Chains A and B, each alone.
Chain A
Amino acid sequence: MDAPSDIDALADALREDGVVVDRVMGSGEAEDAHDRIAALVRATPFPVYVALVEEPDGLPEDSSAAGDALAGLLNRRLGDGLYVLETTSGAQRVWSYGLGADPSRLSLAAYANNDVLEESIAGLAGPMGTEDYVYPPPTVVAEATVLTVEEIVGIGRQEAGEDYPATLDEGDADRLAERAVRLDALGGWRPGVDDFVEVRTASPGLSALVGGLSGLVIALLLGQTLSGWPRRRTAEAERRAASRPRRTPRREHRVEAPPSPVPDLDAERTIARAQAEALSAALRSTDWEKVRDRDVASRALTARDAVEPLLASQDVADVLGAQVLARAGSRDLARGTRGRGSALRTCFFDPRHPEATTDARWRLGDGEVEVPCCVACATAVVHDGTPAHVRLAGRRGTRAYWERDDVWARTGFGAVSDDLAREVLADREDPR
């Protein structure tokens, strides 16, 4: 029916068959619900009025007070009976007038039936509190109430107690629950939104990017691994290098750089003699009483003893070694006198180079050792692996000095020896 605009119109409509269901409360089947509930009302031995309507004008704003007011106003117009009322702004409740039922007990009995209905709905749709749960439509709740109206009025008439048993039959509850679920599905239906399916197009560019980058990474890592990673010198490597001074560098890797010229014997001898003379002069002028570290300074004496026989040698390696011995002796005498300073540290590749200030990894024989060297040689090792080095005449051209089997090769002209002078003297006494 059309929504009555005021209480009088609503009362008039209720006077017809006791039931008014507005479309706004009918869940899509207001007329059917009206007919079903009206049939139940007719079978009830006392007056029952059911109004599921849009809230009439003129009621209090508070929904509870509005319900009470609506029930009272309808009772004044229609007389005694049971009133089942629900408006668009309030929940469904039950009022009784002149039936001798206690309002509270009446309501509790109706709520007990409602609980049974909700349990049946939960069993069909889903547990209460979840998205699947369906709240019973007003028409279904009203039908359940009218279906059990005699029982709940009976409970309302009883003496006060603690037990308010549900009087809604389980079969009726299931039937009403099915209707509630169906009405909810129909009333809440909306067309499915066409999900836009994004097609992730195959990108040859991305494949090329992945392939290119992965190929580059693999090439870099594999190439570097095969050609050798630069190695960090560890403390262990340091110790091994220091403990390997006597290693005879017999077979080193072949150096492909343009061969360095063989040192000129006469020129180197002149230099060696001058350095030996400087050492002798320094020894003569030394006041040994003022020497602070005689152990160090006395190594200059050993150096002088080792140098002198070498100055007349026809082997340019001996002459170069004499230079190293003379310079090392002078350095030891000076630092012994002062009591501080460091020993001469020659470049492994050529003792005539500036003093060693760094190290380079160099393959000797079957292994690699850290050798002291000047900055230029270390740089050359890093970039092309061929520092300028001393080459000596051999039977088949020239060769690196460390390819020979002598004290200079073993000691690297003192670069890998702690006491070159003693090694030279020991070598001289060796009958080999």
Chain B
Amino acid sequence: MTPRRRRVVGWGVGAVVGLVAGVLLGTVTQGWQESREARDVERRAEVFGRADEVPPPGDAVRALLAEDSQVAVDPLLADRLPADDVRRAEAILEDAAVPARIAYLTYPETSHVGYTTGGAAVQWSTGVGETGHYVVLWDNGSSESVAVGLEPSYVESRTDGQPGPALVRIAAEMAAWEAEPLPTEPDAPGDFDYWGGVLGGLGAAALFGTFVVLPLFALLRWYVGSRRRKVT
């Protein structure tokens, strides 16, 4: 076999084998990615179906639940809220399109108080049980919003300062909140492909091949056959 023919045959065989191997490896890679995506989708569904088991509330939340009102005030904080503001807030919430309630509660500064910020809000809303929006206004001026049977909204009004006006502001905002239903199934996975599909991937492979693989291959050839390079 002449050198030229040997080269032609060698490179021809290399090209065919490379093509077949590339297709196989691409197929294997796609299969592996699809199985990984299926596992992620399954795990997302599992997390979606998970529900918290709410423990029975402690004395503070029980005190809130004992109040049959749109605005539940911690008895220990009753003297901090003007009655007029409480009535105004209740009147606003009465007219809300979506049921809405506000609780005014002592912020849990210590670990011995028996509740957490997120825990108390959920325990209270779960105890009430009515579908709608719930906001806990803490006595330190912060707030926590949750919802029962709806997507929760988030308080944007200013909640610090005097608790009475803050209560009214929150009530006014909550009256405008809509009832966005909870999703009934987990989000479908996106179809975004960073590499822009098969053609994009092949284009990227061409770029990488041209600017990375081929120079490296040329370097390898030079290293192996540097003797001949001296001719040039």
The interface of chain A, by Cβ under 8 A from chain B, is: 2-3, 23-31, 88, 135, 137-138, 183, 185-192, 194-195, 197-233, 253-254, 256, 358-361, 363, 375, 378-379, 381-382, 384-385
Interface size on B, residues (CB 8 A): 91
Q: How far is the CA of A216 from the CA of B217 in the complex (A)?
A: 10
Q: Which residue of A lies closest to B12 (CB)?
A: A223
Q: Are B4 and A256 in contact (CB under 8 A)?
A: yes
User: Which residues of chain B come closer than 8 Å to A28, judged between CB atoms?
Assistant: 57-60, 113-115
Extra 7 A-B pairs, beta carbons < 8 Å, given A88-B110, A204-B197: A2-B76, A24-B110, A25-B112, A28-B58, A206-B201, A211-B26, A226-B14
- One of A205, A216, A254, A378 near B197 (C-beta < 8 A): A205
Q: Which residue of B lies closest to A227 (CB)?
A: B10
**A238: shortest Cβ distance to chain B, in Å?**
10
User: Which residues of chain A come closer than 8 Å to B43, judged between CB atoms?
Assistant: 197
Q: Are A208 and B36 in contact (CB under 8 A)?
A: no
Q: Are B228 and A360 in contact (CB under 8 A)?
A: yes
User: Which residues of chain A come closer than 8 Å to B55, judged between CB atoms?
Assistant: 185-186, 189
Q: Are A223 and B11 in contact (CB under 8 A)?
A: yes
Q: B190-205 vs A: 1/0 string, CB under 8 Å? A: 1111111111111011
Q: How far is the CA of A189 from the CA of B53 in the complex (A)?
A: 10
- One of B7, B33, B60, B209 near A203 (C-beta < 8 A): B33
User: Which residues of chain B come closer than 8 Å to A212, judged between CB atoms?
Assistant: 22, 26, 201-202, 204-206, 209
Q: Are B205 and A208 in contact (CB under 8 A)?
A: yes
Q: How far is the CA of A39 from the CA of B121 in the complex (A)?
A: 33
Q: Are B113 and A24 in contact (CB under 8 A)?
A: yes
Q: Are A227 and B27 in contact (CB under 8 A)?
A: no
**B118: shortest Cβ distance to chain A, in Å?**
4
- One of A26, A198, A224, A360 near B40 (C-beta < 8 A): A198
User: Which residues of chain B come closer than 8 Å to A209, judged between CB atoms?
Assistant: 195, 201-202, 204-205, 208
Q: Are A224 and B23 in contact (CB under 8 A)?
A: no
Q: Are B226 and A232 in contact (CB under 8 A)?
A: yes
Q: Are A229 and B221 in contact (CB under 8 A)?
A: yes
Q: Are B115 and A187 in contact (CB under 8 A)?
A: yes
User: Which residues of chain A come closer than 8 Å to B119, judged between CB atoms?
Assistant: 188-191
User: Which residues of chain B come closer than 8 Å to A385, judged between CB atoms?
Assistant: 2-4
Q: Are B14 and A222 in contact (CB under 8 A)?
A: yes
- One of B29, B213, B231 near A220 (C-beta < 8 A): B213
Q: Are A194 and B193 in contact (CB under 8 A)?
A: no
User: Which residues of chain B come closer than 8 Å to A208, judged between CB atoms?
Assistant: 26, 195, 197-202, 205
Q: Are A211 and B22 in contact (CB under 8 A)?
A: yes
For the complex of A and B, 8 pairs with smallest distance between CB atoms:
A230-B225, A215-B22, A211-B26, A28-B58, A205-B195, A223-B14, A219-B18, A28-B114
Given A197-B44, A202-B36, A208-B195, check contact A214 B21 (CB 8 Å). yes
Q: How far is the CA of A222 from the CA of B106 in the complex (A)?
A: 75
30 contacting pairs across A/B (C-beta < 8 A): A24-B112, A26-B59, A26-B114, A27-B112, A27-B113, A137-B112, A186-B114, A189-B115, A190-B118, A199-B189, A199-B190, A201-B37, A202-B37, A205-B198, A206-B201, A207-B26, A207-B27, A212-B209, A213-B209, A218-B21, A223-B10, A223-B14, A228-B6, A229-B224, A230-B228, A230-B229, A231-B224, A253-B2, A253-B3, A385-B2
The interface of chain B, by Cβ under 8 A from chain A, is: 2-4, 6-7, 9-15, 17-27, 29-30, 33-34, 36-37, 40-41, 43-44, 47, 50, 52, 54-60, 75-76, 106, 109-119, 122-123, 189-202, 204-206, 208-209, 213-214, 217, 221, 224-232
**B31: shortest Cβ distance to chain A, in Å?**
9
Q: Which residue of A lies closest to B227 (CB)?
A: A233
User: Which residues of chain A come closer than 8 Å to B197, judged between CB atoms?
Assistant: 204-205, 208
Q: How far is the CA of A26 from the CA of B206 in the complex (A)?
A: 69
Given A26-B114, A210-B25, check contact A226 B13 (CB 8 Å). yes
Q: Which residue of A lies closest to B196 (CB)?
A: A205
Q: Are A186 and B56 in contact (CB under 8 A)?
A: yes
Q: How far is the CA of A249 from the CA of B226 in the complex (A)?
A: 26
Q: Are B18 and A220 in contact (CB under 8 A)?
A: yes
Q: Which residue of B lies closest to A30 (CB)?
A: B59
Q: Are A29 and B10 in contact (CB under 8 A)?
A: no
**A133: shortest Cβ distance to chain B, in Å?**
13
Given A26-B59, A205-B198, A206-B201, check contact A188 B213 (CB 8 Å). no
Q: How far is the CA of A207 from the CA of B227 in the complex (A)?
A: 39
Q: How far is the CA of A381 from the CA of B52 in the complex (A)?
A: 78
Q: Which residue of B lies closest to A89 (CB)?
A: B110
Given A23-B76, A189-B119, A207-B201, check contact A197 B40 (CB 8 Å). yes
Q: Are A223 and B114 in contact (CB under 8 A)?
A: no
Q: Which residue of B lies closest to A1 (CB)?
A: B76
Q: Quick one: which of B24, B113, B231 has the most chain A CB within 10 A?
A: B231
User: Which residues of chain B come closer than 8 Å to A221, judged between CB atoms?
Assistant: 14, 217
User: Which residues of chain A come closer than 8 Å to B226, judged between CB atoms?
Assistant: 230, 232
Q: How far is the CA of A201 from the CA of B18 in the complex (A)?
A: 27
Q: Are B113 and A226 in contact (CB under 8 A)?
A: no
Q: Are A23 and B113 in contact (CB under 8 A)?
A: yes
Q: How far is the CA of A15 from the CA of B178 in the complex (A)?
A: 53
Q: How far is the CA of A188 from the CA of B116 in the complex (A)?
A: 6
Q: How far is the CA of A229 from the CA of B14 in the complex (A)?
A: 13
Q: Are A206 and B194 in contact (CB under 8 A)?
A: yes
Given A206-B29, A222-B14, check contact A29 B114 (CB 8 Å). yes
Q: Are B15 and A29 in contact (CB under 8 A)?
A: no
Q: Are B204 and A26 in contact (CB under 8 A)?
A: no
Q: Which residue of A lies closest to B62 (CB)?
A: A28
User: Which residues of chain B come closer than 8 Å to A256, judged between CB atoms?
Assistant: 2, 4
**A29: shortest Cβ distance to chain B, in Å?**
6
Q: Are A216 and B193 in contact (CB under 8 A)?
A: no
**A226: shortest Cβ distance to chain B, in Å?**
3
